[in-house]
Chain A
Amino acid sequence: MIETVFVESQIIDHPITKRVLSCLPKADLLNINRYQELFNKRQQNFRLQKEKPALILAKKHDNFVLPAPSGFGMDSQKNFYFSHMYNCIYDCRYCFLQGMYSSANYLLFVNFEDFFRSISETIQNNAGSSLTFFSGYDCDSLAFEKITSFAQHTLSFFKEHPEVEFELRTKSVNIETLLNLEPISNCVVAFSLSPESVADVLDKKAPRVNKRIRAIKKLAKSGWLVGLRLDPLIFCENWRGLYSELIEEIMADLEITNLHSVSFGPLRYPKKMYNTIAALYPEEKLFAFPMQTNGQLVSYGPEIENEMATYIQDELKKYLGADRIFQCLI
C-alpha cells in the first residue's frame, strides 16, 4: 500500500488529485514544488525504493504525446504513445523501467485533460492517416485504475474519436471498469503474457497468468477487442512446450472474432540500460545468461531470437491468420 504521497502544490485542488487522496486516507501527505526535485534526484537506490514506493502527484507541462519507437505497434501508418504515469506497481524482473528512471516512486500526472487536448491536436495534424495511440509504455494502464480512473477517462475520450485506434496495455485483471462500459470498437485491451512458470518467476507482484487469461476471455466475450502481447519472449528450458501450452490455453474458448491482434517481441535492451538493471539484480538468473552485445543492443542474439520468433509465429498460425500476427522489434 502507498504510505507516502507527495503532491505538487499547483495541482492540490485538481479533481484527480482529490480523488487519489481520498483513496489513500492513511498516507502521509507532503507538498512539493515540482516533481523533478524528488523523482530525478541522483543517488537514489531504485531497488530499495521499489520496496516501498511513494506516490508523486504532478502536472505534466509538455511532451504529452510522442511518436512510438519504430518497431512498436502493428500496421498503422503512425503510432503514438502517451504516459500519464511513470513506473508500475508490478515488479517484472525484465522491466525496462528499472533501467530508465533513477526513482522507483510512482509518478502520476493528474492533468489528463492536457493529454486529451494534445491527442486531439495530434489527430487533427495527421488527418487522413491511420493512427494508433498506445498507453502503458511507462506504466501499466489499468493497474492503478481504482485510484486514478485513468482508463475510464481515456476510453470515454477515444470513444469520441472512432477514426483512430487506442491500445491500453496491461497485466492487470482490474477489468470491472471495462466490463461496466459498452465495448468501444476502436479500443483494444492488450495483455502482456508469458508462460505461467516463466511469469511465476519473473512477473513479480503481477496477477498470475491464469487470471490474466480469464480476464482476456471475459472481456472478449463481452465484446471488447483484446490483444495478446507475448513480449518479451523468454528463453528457458522447454520454452517451446511452455509457449505452445500458453497459446493453446489462451485460444481455447476465446471469442476469436474479438481477438484484435497478437504480437511478440524479443528480450532486448540498450547496453547501458541492461547493465543498470543487471547490477540491480546480481542474484537474478535472467541476467546471468550469456547475452550477446551487438553494437549498443543486448539480446539473446539472432540465433535464439529467430528460432523463437519462427516457432511462436507457427504456433499462432494454427489459430489465426497471419494478418493478425505481428512481430515487435524495439
Chain B
Amino acid sequence: MNNTNREFKFFWVVALRSEANALIKKFNLKSFSNHCNFPIYINRKNGHALVISGVGSIKSAVATMYLNKTFNPGQVVAWINIGIAGHFQGPVGTLFQVIKVVNNDNGKSFFPGLRFPKLAKAAELYTVSSPENEFTLPVLYDMEAAGFCEIAPSLSCNELTFVLKIVSDTSEQSQSLITKKMIADLFNKNSDMIDNLLQAVVKIVDRERARLGDPIEMDGIMCSLHFTETNRLRFRKIYKKWWCLFPNKSLADRAKKASSAHDLMQSMELDIATEAQTWKLK
C-alpha cells in the first residue's frame, strides 16, 4: 500500500508574492500553512498546490522539497515553476516554455518538460545569482529555475517538470518599471495560454496515473489476506499481468475464498499459464 496523496496534480513553485497572487486568484487557492517562510496555498478540488519560495535558486530548491514533504504527492504530478524573467529581446508579456536551464554559477544545465510547441515558444534560460541588466546572451534570465530543476525532476520526472517564464524586462525596458500591478497584468494576459498548457499537462498526468497506478481492488485484497513483504511485491507483479489479461474480471470474490495469499497467487498464475496456451497479442 502506498500513502501518497493523489488529490493534487499541479505543484507550483513561485518566487514572488505578486506572482503567487495571480495564481491564488486564478485557481481559487486558500492558505494552507505559513511555516518556515514558505507560505503554501491549495485547492483540493481542482488539484493545485502552490508555495512561495522567495527570491533565489537555493530558496526555490528548498521550497520545492518543502512542498513535496508537506503533501507527499507521489511521482505522477506536474511540478511547475512559473514567474517573470528578463529577456534580451522581449517583447514584454511573452510567455515562454523554458526547455534549457543553465545555472550561471556552476554551468550545470537542465532540460525540463515535455515540449508543447503549439502552445508556447521555446527558450533557454540562465539562472543568475544577482539581477541581470546586461542581457549579453539571447536567452531569458531569472534567479530561481536552476534550483527548482535541481530538485523537481527527482520528485516526479523530467518530463513532468515545467518552467514557464513571462518576460517582464528587457535591455530596452528596465526592471525598475516592474510593479505588482504589472505582474498581475502579465499573468492575466497569459491566462488562456496557461490554461491551455495545463490542459495538455493534465492529460499526461492522468495517463501516467492510469499506467503506473495499482488496480483499485488491489489494496483491499492485500488487507484481507496475510502477505509477507516479499509476497506483496510478488502479488503486485502477478496482479498487473493478470489484470492486463483479464481487465474485466474481478479478483475480490476469489480472494475472499482463498485460504492464503499463496493460494490466491497460485490460482492467478494458473490463469495466466492457461491463457498462454492460446496467446493472443491484443
| Contact among A28, A42, A202, A284 with B99 in the assembled complex (CB-CB below 8 Å) | A28
Contact across chains for B158 and A289 when beta carbons are under 8 A apart: no
Contact across chains for B160 and A198 when beta carbons are under 8 A apart: no
Contact across chains for A290 and B114 when beta carbons are under 8 A apart: no
- Is residue A307 within 8 Å, beta carbon to beta carbon, of the partner chain? no
Digitize A1-39: 1 where CB-to-B-CB distance is under 8 Å, 0 elsewhere: 001101000000000000000000000101011000110
- Is residue B257 within 8 Å, beta carbon to beta carbon, of the partner chain? no
- CB contacts under 8 Å to A, within B248-278, are 269, 272-273, 276, 278
Find the B residue at minimum CB distance from A239: B279
Q: How far is the CB of A269 from chain B (nearest CB, A)?
A: 16
Contact across chains for A4 and B99 when beta carbons are under 8 A apart: yes
> CA–CA, A263 to B280, complex, Å?
25
Contact across chains for A236 and B281 when beta carbons are under 8 A apart: yes
With A43-B153, A43-B157 as given contacts, are A285 and B281 in contact (CB-CB < 8 Å)? yes
Find the B residue at minimum CB distance from A1: B117
Find the A residue at minimum CB distance from B76: A45
- CB contacts under 8 Å to B, within A233-290, are 234-237, 282-290
Q: How far is the CB of A190 from chain B (nearest CB, A)?
A: 24
Contact across chains for A45 and B159 when beta carbons are under 8 A apart: yes
- Is residue A61 within 8 Å, beta carbon to beta carbon, of the partner chain? no
> CA–CA, A151 to B111, complex, Å?
31
> CA–CA, A170 to B154, complex, Å?
36
- Is residue B197 within 8 Å, beta carbon to beta carbon, of the partner chain? no
- Is residue B17 within 8 Å, beta carbon to beta carbon, of the partner chain? no
Q: How far is the CB of A280 from chain B (nearest CB, A)?
A: 9
- CB contacts under 8 Å to A, within B217-272, are 240-242, 244-245, 269, 272
Task: Kindly list chain A residues whose C-beta atoms are within 8 Å of the C-beta of B153.
Answer: 41-43
Question: Which of B109, B240, B281 counts the most A-chain CB atoms under 10 A from its CB?
Answer: B281
Contact across chains for B280 and A237 when beta carbons are under 8 A apart: yes
Contact across chains for B279 and A49 when beta carbons are under 8 A apart: no
> CA–CA, A52 to B254, complex, Å?
42
- Is residue B128 within 8 Å, beta carbon to beta carbon, of the partner chain? no
> CA–CA, A52 to B276, complex, Å?
34
- Is residue B124 within 8 Å, beta carbon to beta carbon, of the partner chain? yes
Find the B residue at minimum CB distance from A29: B122
Q: How far is the CB of A56 from chain B (nearest CB, A)?
A: 10
> CA–CA, A151 to B272, complex, Å?
44
| Contact among A6, A38, A198 with B281 in the assembled complex (CB-CB below 8 Å) | A198
Contact across chains for B272 and A290 when beta carbons are under 8 A apart: yes
- Is residue B195 within 8 Å, beta carbon to beta carbon, of the partner chain? no
Q: How far is the CB of A255 from chain B (nearest CB, A)?
A: 32
Find the B residue at minimum CB distance from A38: B111
Contact across chains for B240 and A30 when beta carbons are under 8 A apart: no
Q: How far is the CB of B275 from chain A (nearest CB, A)?
A: 8
| Contact among A6, A198, A288 with B241 in the assembled complex (CB-CB below 8 Å) | A288
Task: Please count the residue pairs between chain A and chain B whose beta carbons lie under 8 angstroms apart in the complex.
Answer: 94
| Residues of B in contact, count (CB < 8 Å) | 33
Contact across chains for A45 and B278 when beta carbons are under 8 A apart: no
Find the B residue at minimum CB distance from A54: B115
Task: Kindly list chain B residues whose C-beta atoms are within 8 Å of the C-beta of A202.
Answer: 281
- Is residue A201 within 8 Å, beta carbon to beta carbon, of the partner chain? yes
| Residues of A in contact, count (CB < 8 Å) | 37
- CB contacts under 8 Å to B, within A197-246, are 197-198, 201-202, 234-237
Q: How far is the CB of A282 from chain B (nearest CB, A)?
A: 5
> CA–CA, A315 to B212, complex, Å?
41
- CB contacts under 8 Å to A, within B106-123, are 109, 111, 114-115, 117, 122
Question: Which of A54, A237, A286, A288 counts the most B-chain CB atoms under 10 A from its CB?
Answer: A288
Contact across chains for B122 and A28 when beta carbons are under 8 A apart: yes
Task: Kindly list chain A residues whose C-beta atoms are within 8 Å of the C-beta of B114.
Answer: 48-49, 51-52
Contact across chains for A282 and B240 when beta carbons are under 8 A apart: yes
Contact across chains for A45 and B160 when beta carbons are under 8 A apart: yes
- Is residue A130 within 8 Å, beta carbon to beta carbon, of the partner chain? no
> CA–CA, A37 to B159, complex, Å?
15
> CA–CA, A237 to B278, complex, Å?
5
Digitize B202-226: 1 where CB-to-A-CB distance is under 8 Å, 0 elsewhere: 0010001001100000000000000
- Is residue A129 within 8 Å, beta carbon to beta carbon, of the partner chain? no
| Contact among B111, B117, B276 with A41 in the assembled complex (CB-CB below 8 Å) | B111
- Is residue B35 within 8 Å, beta carbon to beta carbon, of the partner chain? no
| Contact among A44, A49, A283, A286 with B211 in the assembled complex (CB-CB below 8 Å) | A283
Contact across chains for A290 and B158 when beta carbons are under 8 A apart: no
> CA–CA, A171 to B86, complex, Å?
47
Task: Kindly list chain A residues whose C-beta atoms are within 8 Å of the C-beta of B159.
Answer: 44-45, 48-49
Q: How far is the CB of A246 from chain B (nearest CB, A)?
A: 15
| Contact among B204, B242, B276, B281 with A234 in the assembled complex (CB-CB below 8 Å) | B281
With A30-B99, A30-B100, A285-B281 as given contacts, are A3 and B111 in contact (CB-CB < 8 Å)? no
Could you show 29 A-B contacts with beta carbons less than 8 Å apart? A4-B99, A4-B115, A6-B100, A6-B111, A28-B115, A28-B122, A30-B99, A30-B124, A32-B109, A33-B109, A41-B153, A43-B153, A43-B154, A43-B157, A44-B158, A45-B208, A47-B211, A48-B157, A198-B281, A202-B281, A282-B244, A283-B211, A287-B244, A288-B242, A288-B244, A288-B245, A290-B241, A290-B272, A290-B276
Given A4-B117, A38-B109, A49-B114, list of 8 further CB < 8 A pairs? A4-B122, A33-B109, A47-B211, A48-B204, A235-B279, A285-B280, A288-B245, A289-B279
Where the two chains meet, the residues of A that have a C-beta atom closer than 8 Å to any C-beta of B are: 3-4, 6, 28, 30, 32-33, 37-38, 41-45, 47-49, 51-52, 54, 197-198, 201-202, 234-237, 282-290
